Amino acid sequence: MQVTMTVNGEEFTREVEPRMLLVHFLRDDLGLTGTHWGCDTSNCGVCTVQIDGQPVKSCTILAAMAAGHEIRTIEGLEQNGTLDPVQQGFMQEHGLQCGFCTPGVMMTARWLLDKNPDPDTETIRECISGNICRCTGYENIVRAIRWAAEHPATEGASA
């Protein structure tokens, strides 16, 4: 079947099997390998992308179900050569070690900050509870998201 969806602002049309999962569509058909593929059971959260602004686990949604919607992946977080504050926060606060969970956490964090620009650490921890880090790096991840909250992108920076 043919699916058309917008990914990071660009429209793509591809022929897929109905059983193709969104994570494989993004990685294998579109070459957007920033979205990682982990547990395959919607537990670990490394495959988190945004659909119409909401984070979802792309291993548990069909590409066919995403057709007609707006997808945003980690590759779409940077705007015109400027890193998103969440990405800058991870650099500033050393929010990653191996980096496998990082794209998923960042897509969840971006959603959190869009609806709540000044979350406390408890809110951040609850929000990223579906994104598992096995480097035991939550302390720095929470600090990284707090850093992003304290350094929102200025008008000119993302233009």
Partner 1 sequence: MQVPAPFEYERATSVDHALALLERHGPEARLIAGGHSLLPMMKLRLARPEMLIDINDLSDLDYIKLDRGEIAIGAMARHAAILDSPLLAEHYRIFREAEKVIADPIVRNRGTIGGSFCQADPSEDLSAVGSALRAKMVIRSSSGTRTVAAREFHDGPYQTMVGPSEILVEIRVPIRPGSGSAYEKVERRAGDWAIAAAGTFVQLSGDNVADCGIGITAVGADHFACAAAEDFLIGKPATVENFAAAAQICHDAVAPQSDQRGPADYKRHLARELTSRALNRSAARARGEDV
Contact residues for partner 1 (CB under 8 A)?
A: 1, 17-19, 21, 40-43, 45, 48, 54-57, 60-62, 64-65, 108, 126-127, 129-131
Toward partner 1, which CB reaches closer, 19 or 154?
A: 19
What whole-number distance in Å separates Cα of residue 90 and Cα of residue 94? 5
Q: How far is the CB of 158 from partner 1 (least distance, A)?
A: 25
Q: Which is closer to partner 1, CB of 132 or CB of 153?
A: 132
Q: Which of residues 34 and 130 has its CB atom nearest to partner 1 in the complex? A: 130
> Nearest distance from residue 159's CB to partner 1, in Å?
30
Q: How long a stretch of residues is the chain?
A: 159
Full 3-state SS string of 25-74? HHHHHCCCCCCCCCCCCCCCCCCEEEECCEEEEHHHCEHHHHCCCEEECH
In the complex, least distance from residue 130 CB atom to partner 1, rounded to whole angstroms? 3
Collapsed DSSP state (helix, strand, coil) of residue 3? strand
Closest CA to 90 of 51, 57, 133, 40: 133
- The rounded distance, in Å, linking the Cα atoms of 27 and 59 is 11
Q: Give min distance, CB of 85 to partner 1, in A.
A: 20
Of 125 and 151, the one with the shorter C-beta distance to partner 1 is: 125
